Each structure stands twice: as C-alpha cells, then as structure tokens.
Structure 1
C-alpha cells in the first residue's frame, strides 16, 4: 500500500469515526436556545441526548449483520442518507418530541459510519497494523471533543442552533461522497449470512463465545467506561464544584483531550518494542495505581482544581494506550464476521459507558469522590476480567511481525 493511499484511507475512515462525536458534542452549547424555541425545559432537551445514545446502541447491532451480508458500501450509503435527512429534519423541527425522535433516527444513521469504519480497518489492513490504525483513528476521536463544542458554541452564538444541524447535514454529505468515491469495496457481500433474527442472534453468540473477543472486548469496554464517567461528570466537577466558567471549562476539556490523543499516538511508537498484550497489562497496572491514589486524595479532601486536572490527565493517558490495543485484539480473530464483531464490541462499549454515565447522574453531586470511586471500580474490574479471560484463550490471534494473523497456542 502506497503512503498516499494509506493517508487517504485513514482520512476517510477518520471522518467516518468523527461523525458520531460531532453529532453528540456540537449541539450541547445550544441547549438553552433549543429549549426556548421549542417551548420546553433544558432537562427535556437533554432527553434528545439520551435518545441519541439509545439510537447508537441499537444501530451498532443493526449494521453488523447488514455490513457482512451486503458488503460495506451499500449499508454505509443508506445509513448516511438517513443521517443527512434526519439532520435536515432537526433544522425545521417545531416541537420537542419530534426533535427527540429525529435525534434517535440521526443516531441510527450515523452508526453506519462508526461500525463500517471499524470493520473496514480489519478488511483493509494487515493484522499487525490494526492497533496502529486504531491509534490514528483515536487521534480523530480525540480531536472531536476538542473541536465540536467550541465550534458549536461560536455557531450557536452567531447564527443560532439550527445552523449546527445544517453543518452536520453538510458534513454527512461530504463524508457520503468521500466514502463512496474514495473507499474500495473491501468486502464481498456474503449471501450465506441470513438477516432473520435467529441466525443473527446465533451469529452474535458465536462471536461472543470466542474467548479472545470476550476477554478484550469486556476489558477494553469496562476500562473505557472510565472515559464516559469523566465526560458525564466533568461539567459538574469543574463548573459546579470548582466554579470555572464555560469558556475555561472548554479549555480544560481540550487540554484533557491532548492527554488521550498524545498517549494513543505514543502507543504507535511503543508497539515497535512491545506487544499489544504487554501494553494493555502495563496500562491497566498504572491506571489502577493512579485511581487508588486519586481515591485516597479525594476521600481526604486533598484535591484542588489543578490536582484534579493532573490526576484526570494521567488517567486518560492510560486509556489512550490500552484502548487501541484492546480494540485490535478484540477484532483480530474475525476475518469473516468482522462487521458483527465490530457491532457487538461497539454495543458493549456503549452500553457499559451509558451505565457509567447514568451512575454519575445519580451519585456525583457536590464531591469529586463518587466519580473517582466509579473510575477506580471500572479499572480494577477491567484488570480482573483481563487476567481471568486470558486463561480461556487457547488459540490466540496475535499482532505479529508478519503481515497476517498468527495463531498462537
């Protein structure tokens, strides 16, 4: 593969990956404007965020079988068309219930991009390159929460919240054109895959029974729910407890993203010396130590604004290293069922992340400690799952020096 082609593929796959985060983060500054225009409360507007998460979770499982049955590009085209039309609908919406429903439809559409991008990484790149490619996609994923709320804030202030959804619609159109022209047909449609519920469910069960899948999917997802915890808790922690203003909060959020991006890029360099297994194990050990220290400090009221930022920065750095490796090893055994495996991995990650953020909503009120308790628990559980799960892997598909997957005993 030439460098030019490699960069082109990464850029297109990266844009597919970024669509979801932009759709989640970009309209957040417009909540009060939406509430005012649709004659409702900000709390009711936040239901549109919940409906979006439900849509992503459902869409993850829907597109897996479709991508395996019809190839990658056709379901991707349909999903992006649904996204574009739903975004346009959000511009002209007149009541909150329609808005909540359209956000659900928008999420189902955007999900095609997320699932297809992960499956196409498995199609287009040799197994040894997968963690490196995921690290580059992490760069895009990390930039999105830095850029989206900032852009959304300026757009909302100058042109109103409707313009945010027009921009998202044009993003969808651009990504649709780029993916249809720039991406190869990476996977031939497999007519042997049935779309009836029973075979689909049995296919997911087959994927789930693979020890390498459940070990690394659950290790990665449980650890990664710490990121969802941070995102959900950060407005309360920084704006309510430490009383920073919205602009400063935006800069803190951007600074934190640097940690996640930087470490996921460092991961690419470290993979030249260490295996993915070593990276995951080491990252979780360090993450456990950080969260325990963080917990002791929070329970003893020894944390100010800067100490909290410092501890969270280190915590997110560990996630930036472990996440591309758990994703790579989760997907490695699946040449045939990559779409279903990708969908199931996404659904598990999102489901556990939603649980973590739901816990934040219940427990995080006027102290940093509940957030740190959730982070410590998820880190230690992930470490236990990794060490127990590894015992069941008899045939391991490794990220090896050669071009193809290597079966280890």
Structure 2
C-alpha cells in the first residue's frame, strides 16, 4: 500500500506542473527545446521560493532516466513513461497522451496535488482527463496556439490535425487559462474560449542571472555584433536576419541555437541558412555557434550591440526579456507577445515580420547612435525589473491558483 503523505503546512500548496515534451532538464536550442523549458523550470523554482512544493511531470525520453530527479529545493522532476523512452518530435506525441494521462491519474490518486497547471496543448489534454477523473483543479498555459501556427505555416504546419479541436476542449474544460499575452486572449476568444475564463500572466526572466554587469563573450573582428538566440526553426526568422545583414556593413551576426557545434554541419536548417548567407554575400559575417548551455547565455547577450528577435510569429518570446535584462536593445517583429514586452522606441524597435529592409533600417539606426542603444538598454532593464521578474510572475500565478481554489466546492466527509 502506498503511504499517505504528511499534510503540508497551512498556506503551502502541492503544485503539479505538466510539461509533456519540454523538460526543465533539457539542453536549450534544439528543435523542441526552448522557451517553454525555461518557463517551466523557472516557474517551478519561483513557486518553491514562495514555499510551495512542486513536481514537474514530463515524458521519459531516455531509458536510463531516473523516475524522479531533484531539480532544486522544493522541486522535483518526474519522468512519465508514455511512448518509447527516446526522443520523439513533439508533433508525434499525441498517440501517447492517453497513457500519459492514465499515469498522471495513478500518481495523483495516491498523492493528489492541490492544483494542476499544464503547459502546452497535449499536456492539457492528458491533464484534463486525469483531473476530471479525480476532481482536481486545473489551470492551463498554451505557450503556442494551433490556429496561429496554421495561419502562418499553412501546409508546412506539422501539427496533428486534431490540435485545434483539442485546444478548444482544454480551454473550455479547464478551470482557468493562464495566457501569456493580450494577443493570446484575443486569439482564444476567436476560438470560442471566453475572455472571462483567462488571466494574463506573462513569462518571466531571472533578473539576478541576466544582468548588464558581468563577463561578456569574446567579440569577433567586426565593429558591431548582432545576436539571434533561440530554437533554430524557420519561423524564428534567422533567414530574415541574414538578409538584413547584407545591408549592414562592418557587422557580424551570431546565431545561437540548434544542435551542438560539432553537429551543425549535419543540420538541415543550418545548411539552408548557410546557403542564404552565401547567396546574400555575407557568409563570412555569419557565425553559427550551436546550442548553448544556460551559463553561456548572459555573457553572449552582453557581447551584442543589438539582439534580434525577427520571428514570423511569436506566442510570447523569452529572449527579448533576457536581452532587456542584460541591458541590450532589442529589434523584434511586431507580433504576439513581443507587442507586450518590447516598447518602441523605449526598449528597442518593433518592425513588420518577414521584412529584411525594415529590420536593417531599425538596426542601422541603433548602431549609428550609441546613446540611443544605451538608453534602450537602461529602459529595458527597468521594464524587466518592474514587470517580468520571476518573483512577480510566481506571485501572480499563485494568485490565479488561489482564485481557482477559492471557487472549488468544499470537500465533504
């Protein structure tokens, strides 16, 4: 018989975060490892800092992973066996979500959490079925919406055809949607999920690790450095940055993300982007450095004159916050969450997506004006401290949990 756990002290919540493909233990920069991994890990830690006990449930993607791994004080990662114990692209994980949900139900039946918070639509699907079975309160964060992806990618969208219907089911079936930006609330309303079922809590940034002070990565021989950081997938807009670079003499572009450096030559997206750089005549000024570990990110950001975030669409976008926290100006496409985070002209510039000319003009203006770069960097740091520090985000998330818990019917004995 499974022992009954000791009750938690008053005010301390047992929180289950469900992140089926995005483990907080993953190395960042891979095709399916990016902002969601950072968000889940940081949220778990910030909730633990507020005294709560957090378990992150994520899919086992290697046979030798232990069942449970301490992430830090108050947080453990639970590897759920669902599907083969090997990496599987997230768009092929849907067939395993029923098993994932059954596993969650078994675990939660023995040790029920006070609140469940699922991340990404498949996590929501698995969590919804388990939470319904056990009567547990459920909040959900999408991180990205299938309607937006389909609108921008069309036939290139590899999402399962059931995705949008499942997202609507989760939005209507959970107790609260925790949206990350205003644009997402509007998109959900168009999908039929009422705005009064949502609360906006943005993603956050570690303002103690991402700071303007500290070491900077070594620079190349060029006068200026631009940086693009994140998953190496077409929608992130690296090709737009490369095309813009052709109009920016004396400038290098560092592209961080993708596989480890020693595997870059075999990566299809790297090969495509190198071709774009050759065709644009800037191959000698574009450096691909591969996926980077967390400790290397702040020095890399500090080494840049301007950080580029030119995604075709961006559900939220953590890189602009990290750049702003490091006191660096950001030039971002005016889409999704970047409309909330980047202020133009305060912390950087917003430009139309898929427009290398507009990107180049905005960057050129900043490169030509050191005082404007410094002002944007200082304003960005202030904005992050005032709005996006993880302590603030955790407090807002806890408030959403408590609001849902306050509306739950009282247990009867």
TM class, shorter-length: under 0.3
TM-score normalised by L of structure 1:
0.27
Larger RCO (CA within 8 A; separation ≥ 6) = 1
Report the structure, 1 or 2, having the larger strand content: 2
TM-score normalised by L of structure 2:
0.27
Report the structure, 1 or 2, having the larger helix content: 1
